Amino acid sequence: MSSLHRIPILLTLFIPFPLAAQAAPTAAERVLAAASIPGLALEARAAGVPPDELEALLDAMADGKVSGPDARLVLAEERRAVAATGAVAGLGAFVRARLAEGLRGQALADAIGKEHAARGRKGAPPGLSAQEILAEKRAARTQTLKPRGKPEPSR
């Protein structure tokens, strides 16, 4: 058997199985998904996602190296969830925590939907996050501890 006849047989080893091709998006799908993110972010903003929460969400996904197709799922779920149940304060921190746990794709989108179902406040401004509440308490406590005016000299 000549070496030319072996090449087609060897090339068949590099053809991905149909199941594997469905699991991992192609390069073209990843590029198209990444290109759709700005439009989805605008749609999410129009649906009522506060700008600072949207920025925190996008930053968390960028820092977590979330793929384009996964980011598309997350933004679509965020848009849907905000329209249905209202905004959730601290969403960027929530997404960072879920990314640290290893959630990606549909699992991450489902976790966001559940968080909105639990804490969404339709028609009301988003509440303060736990970190914001603690920061306000610390600021109030330090204000009461600061001396006011010049201290009186001791006699």
Full DSSP string of the chain: --HHHHHHHHHGGGSPPHHHHHHS--HHHHHHHHHHHHHHHHHHHHHT--HHHHHHHHHHHHHTT--HHHHHHHHHHHHHHHHHH---TTHHHHHHHHHHTT--HHHHHHHHHHHHHHH--TTS-----HHHHHHHHHHHHHHHHS--SSPPPP-
Instruction: Taking residues 103-110, report their average pLDDT.
Output: 91
Does any domain span residue 3?
A: no
Decide if pLDDT at 29 tops 70: yes
pTM above 0.85, yes or no: no
Q: What is the pLDDT of residues 46-100, one digit of tens each?
A: 888 888 989 999 999 999 999 889 999 999 999 999 888 888 888 889 999 999 9
Does any domain span residue 71?
A: yes
The reported pLDDT for the residue numbered 50 is 87
Q: Domain count for the chain, please give it.
A: 1
Expressed as residue numbers, the domain containing 61 is 26-142
Does any domain span residue 124?
A: yes
Does any domain span residue 65?
A: yes
